[in-house]
Each structure stands twice: as structure tokens, then as C-alpha cells.
Amino acid sequence: MENIAEKFDVVVVGAGHAGIEAALASARLGCKTGIFTINMDAVGNCPCNPSIGGTAKGHLVRELDALGGEMGKAADETLLQMRMLNRGKGPAVHSLRAQIDRRAYSARMKHCLELQKNLELRQAEITDIEKDSDGSWVLTTRLETRYLAKAVIIATGTYLGGVVFVGNVSYESGPDGIFPSKFLPDSLKKLGMSIRRFKTGTPARVLKSSIDFSDLEEQAGDEPVIPFSYDTLEPCENKVVCHISWTNEKTKQIILDNLHRSPLYSGKIEGIGPRYCPSIEDKIVRFSEKERHQLFIEPCGLNTEEMYIQGMSSSLPEDVQTAFYHSIKGLENAVIMRPAYAIEYYCCDPLQLRSTLEFIDFENLYGAGQFNGSSGYEEAAVQGFVAGVNAAMKILGREPMILDRASSYIGTLIDDLVTKGCHDPYRMMTSRSEYRLVLRQDNADSRLTHIGRRIGLISDERWRRFCDKQEAIKAELKRVKETVISPTERVNEILVSRETSPITTGVRLIDLIKRPQLNYDVLSEIDETRPIIDKNVLEQVEIEIKYEGYIKRQLMVIEQVRKLEGKALPSNIDYNSIEGLRLEAREKLTKVRPENIGQASRISGVSPADISVLVIYLASLKNKKGGDAK
């Protein structure tokens, strides 16, 4: 191939949250990697809310960090405020959410890419991707420079054919007024890829000095701060407070009176928007019985006066936005620095992908992030990591990294995308996992660090600290099983004060911890043999003790499901030739091309009877091979 400027092992198209993790993983595994972005100043940009984590999303960040990713470290280093969400509920749904300094986060990530060995960061718009005769991928930029890559990861976010909408006005653009990726969609269509239009939106940014905070509810961070990253050893600090306000009947009426001016309702926007993060006009229409909707006023950084109005995304005209923002307590005189907007973009149908995030029909081409139909920085980052690891593994001749549903929320996310697909931007929620009690944010390191170590992305020091923690957990579990608490007056006084029955004979400490009214803190006064132990160790031990029965039952189910996951389906199966399969099952199986029986069982339209037919079919293939061997 002539006129090739440079050759790479892996090229990543896009330097958002997915692209960053993909490029870092690939480069750290030893592959020569190039990452291309339309604008270098938008690396790691947070065009929507300036936060990392949230319900279920915090689980993803913790898991990514346990595997060796970068997002958790960057969030800790640029932290403005940290909160643990859902503390009033069980540990399965506890999730960290960090308010971050948006510009500091972006700068930190860009510098990380610049310093990374084996990695080159380039500003260039990729306009064409085509297959070379030798199986390599040829990428062409808008300046007509050509690059060769053994593998390519597409992580274009909302830039791919991006169009911004505000009222009746629409124009080609990526987020924050940056050029979109205009020509690449045609190249992907020419390749034979199935792509479609999704849309998302973002609220306005408001000048801080124009907000009246005097009558708004304050929302402080948690103390002490729990960091995302297991590598964050120094204490983190909350630097800001956020505030809460509400829409009202006047807000509602302004929006209803102007619905005809919304491109969402006039039919101008064709893309499908996120079901679980709708625009304010969509909320008003879909939840018409609600008198008000909550919104959060959050700082975008320490060195900016921009405030983010979470919960108020919109594509209504600017004059309508001004009117409805001014109808809200605290925002009566708000100065809008950046109006809200909707953005429509191209993404692929993720049913075209394997569990490695490689395209089934395009070898060594991978998708990640919003390009795969998901929404959210965290969902993007974990997909980028998986794609980057697997692209590198394939080039290096190593086994792929496939995370199943029982291992992680990451595995759940990817399995949902590649098995069920998505009809609107996919958002991770705790309810999407059937193994929530096992897949907690507090035990992400226990579940996944060994995988990160095996891949080669966990340092010796990190691994030593992890092993020490696991040994501490085992030792503490052994101690509480062996420690007996005698029935003294002081002991029973504490038990009765917590509305639990006193003891008349010696009781093992573990049995007291199991009582719902008691915990480590309460029992500290009578637990005289307790050594000085890290609070994270105590947290995991207490959860394991209190939920032991439930966890055991879930682990039994996981074991049964993994037996199905172990029954691989040949990639060349002709499902139309298998007798006994229903017509719908044949169509769905042919489209999705599941990798194993477990994945096949989760496809909508494939019944348990169809799965039985597949199991019998696999057994017949095995018997036939055995007979041929004789």
C-alpha cells in the first residue's frame, strides 16, 4: 500500500471517554497505538453533566478501576464533591457519584494520553475506513493522509453525523460547537455496516452570580470521602456544595404553551432519545400528573462561573428556555451562558458485535461507547476498555477478555447490547443485573482485580495491596467465627438498647453481627479482641455475614448459568436447518449469532423449548464427531 504516513497496531477513532480507555489499554499492553480526535481540546470532554458515577454507573467506574482503567483515578484527582447514593437502601444499590472539575478532568486525561508509552495522540478527522487486500485497515483523514492499522476501534460518541437542534434551528455540529464527523458515516454504510440515528441533549449553563442561592436546599458531599480508585491512597476532599430546586406549575405551563416550537414534537428530530434521561419537555408530557420535577444546580469547576442545571435538558428555542428557567426558584434572574440543545448522531446496531466488541462481519474492527448505542460517560469508558484490551489481545495472539453477566456490571452491559440490542440509548441501572447482591460496588476489586492482573494492567504494588486486603478479610471472618461474647450486664444493656434480645449464654460474634439491629460500630464496645482493621475490610466482612444466605443462593444460580455459557455454539450454524426450532427463533438466532447457549437463552423471542432443541443439536454434533473419530 502506497502513501501510508504511518502504521499502527491499533487505531482508536475518537478521544472521548471510550476512546481514552481503549487507547490506554491497548498501549499499556504493548501495542503501538494511535488515537485520533477532531479537536485536541475536546479530549475527555464532559459535554453534558460534569460528574462521574451515579446509580449503577458508580459500579462501572469501580469495576473499570479494578481491571486497570483510568476513569476512577482521574475522577478522584479532579474531585469537587463525592456522595454515596442510596445509603438508605441495601448495599447492592450503593453507588458513588463524583462532581468533578470538568476542564481539569479533560486536561488530566489529555496529559495522560500524551505521556503514555506506545501511544500517539493526533488531531485529525477520520473520513474513511476501508479494508486493505492484506486484511489491514486503511484510515484516511480529511487532509487526505492515510494510516494503516491491524485493528480499529470506533469510539465517535455523538460526533458521528452530529446535528444540533434548538427550536427551529438545526445545524451540523458535534457537542460544544465542535465540528462533527461528517464523512465517516458514508464510509461505514459503504462498508456494509448497519447504523441508525439516536439523540441526546444537555441543559443550559448559567452564570453563578445570577443565581439566588439563599432559599435553595444545599446538598453537601459525604465525609469522609470514599474514592473511586483503589490506587487513591491519600484522602480526597469535598470542595463545593450543590443545590436543589424544583419546577412548578408556571414552568409546566410555559413548556406546554410552546411544545409546537420543540423539534422533538414537530417531527424535526428523527433520532430516538434516552428513555431514562428525557428532556424537560418530554418529562412534562410523559408525567403530566406530576406537579413538579427536581433539578440540581452544580458547579462545572473551581475556575469557572458556569453552573450546570441537571434535570433540565431541552431543545426548545432560546427565548422559551429563558422563560422557563426564570420561573424556577433561585433562577428568577439567571443569565444563560450556554443554551440547552439536543444533538442527533449516528450509532451502530450492537447486535452486529461479539462479546469482545469486535464486529462479527468485519474482522479486527471494534465499536465502543455511544457508537454502540449506549449513553453515559461510564458506559462508554468500560466499553472502550474492553474493546482496547481485546483488540490488543488479538494482535498479540492472546486469549480475549470476555466478562460475563455474573462477573460484573460491565459484563451485563455488554451482554445486553450484543444479545438484546437497544432501541434507545442504553443506560446502566442496578435493575438490569439479576446478580445485584454479588455485583456490589464495594467488592469490585475482589471480583475483577485478578483479571486485570492476568491481562497485565495491575502493577505489582497494587497487586500486593489487593492480596493483603483479601487476606485481611479472610482473617477477620475467621476471627468473628471464633470469638465468643459472654452474657455480661454491659453486653445485654447494649443489645436491649438496640431492640434485640439479650443473651444468656456465650454467643459467637458472627451471630451477633448477623442480627439486623446490630453492626460492627455498635458491637465495637464489647468486641475486645478486634484488631485495627481498614474500614473497607470491615464493610465487606459485615455485608458477607449479613447477606450470606442470599449470596449463596445467587452463587448457585450463577454456577448453573455458567454451565450454559460453557456450551459454545459454532459460528457457522445454519439455524434454518435445525428441526424443531420455531420460525421466530430461527430468525433471531440467525441475526444475533450467539456465542453460546447461555447467550442464546437471553435473546428475546427464543423460548426454553428452542434452547432444549439447541442443546440436543449440540449433543448430536458431539456424538457425530465422536463417531467420525472412530
The structural domains of the chain, with segments of one domain joined by +, span: 4-201+345-454, 205-340, 482-553, 566-629
Q: What is the mean pLDDT of residues 163-171?
A: 95
Residue among 66, 62, 24 nearest 43 (CA): 24
The set of cell numbers assigned to 545 is 455475614
- Under DSSP, is residue 108 helix (H, G, I), strand (E, B) or coil? helix
The single-letter DSSP state of residue 76 is H
How many other CB atoms are there within 10 angstroms of residue 168's CB atom?
Answer: 11
- Among the listed residues 389, 528, 509, 529, the one whose alpha carbon sits nearest the alpha carbon of residue 455: 389
Cα(449)–Cα(436) distance, integer angstroms: 19
> pTM value?
0.94
As beta bridge partners, residue 149 has: 8, 137
What's the pLDDT tens digit per position in 249-275?
999 999 999 999 999 887 888 778 777
Side-chain-side CA neighbours of residue 483 (13 Å) = 19
| Band of pLDDT at residue 142, cut at 50, 70 and 90 | very high
CATH no., domain 482-553: 1.10.10.1800
**Would you state the pLDDT for residue 563?**
86
Residue 3: pLDDT band (50, 70, 90) is confident
Residue ranges in 278-418 assigned as alpha helix (H): 280-286, 318-326, 377-396, 409-415
Q: Could you tell me the three cell numbers for 341? A: 440543545
Specify the pLDDT at position 627.
Answer: 54
Provide the CATH number for the domain formed by 205-340 in this structure.
Answer: 2.40.30.260
pLDDT in tens, 523-560: 988 888 888 888 899 999 999 999 999 999 999 988 88
pLDDT, average across residues 34-46 = 97
- pLDDT at position 268, please? 84
Can you tell me the distance from the alpha carbon of 273 to that of 330, in angstroms, rounded to the nearest whole number?
29
Report how far residue 270's alpha carbon sits from residue 534's, in angstroms, rounded to the nearest whole number. Answer: 53
From residue 8, alpha-carbon distances to 33, 69, 120, 361, 366 in Å are 6, 22, 10, 22, 15
Share of the chain above pLDDT 70, in %: 99
Place of cell 458515516: 185
Confidence band for 320, pLDDT divided at 50, 70 and 90: very high
3-state secondary structure of 484: strand
More confident residue, 162 or 533: 162
Give the pLDDT mean for 399-412.
96
Question: Of 87, 25, 28, 24, nearest to 58 (Cα)?
Answer: 87
DSSP sequence for 77-103: HTEEEEEEETTTS-GGG-EEEEEE-HH
Determine contact, residues 601/569, Cβ cutoff 8 Å: no
User: Cell match 409546537: residue?
Assistant: 260
Look at residues 471, 26, 102 and name the one whose alpha carbon lies nearest to residue 299. Answer: 102
pLDDT at 503 over 60: yes
CATH 3.50.50.60 fits 4-201+345-454, yes or no: yes
Residue 2: predicted pLDDT: 64
- Cell matching residue 109: 486525561
Which residues lie below 8 Å from residue 168, measured CB to CB, with a gap of 6+? 261, 263, 266, 268, 317
Q: List the one residue out of 588, 134, 151 whose CA is nearest residue 356.
A: 151
Confidence of residue 629 (pLDDT cuts 50, 70, 90): very low
Same fold, 205-340 and 566-629: no
Least confident of 342-346, 379-383, 589-593: 589-593
Residue 353 is classified by DSSP as: B
Sorting pLDDT into bands at 50, 70 and 90, what band is 1?
Answer: low
**Grid coordinates of 373:** 448505542
Q: How far apart are CA 212 and CA 245, in angstroms?
A: 11
Closest to 264 in 3D by CA, of 280, 246, 241, 244? 280
Residue 369: alpha-carbon gap to chain centroid: 9
Q: What is the mean pLDDT of residues 468-473?
A: 96
Report whether 373 contacts 198 (CB < 8 A).
yes
The answer to whether the beta carbons of residues 8 and 22 sit under 8 Å apart is no
566-629: which CATH topology? DNA polymerase; domain 1 (1.10.150)
Q: Does position 284 have pLDDT exceeding 80, yes or no?
A: yes
At residue 628, the pLDDT reads 55
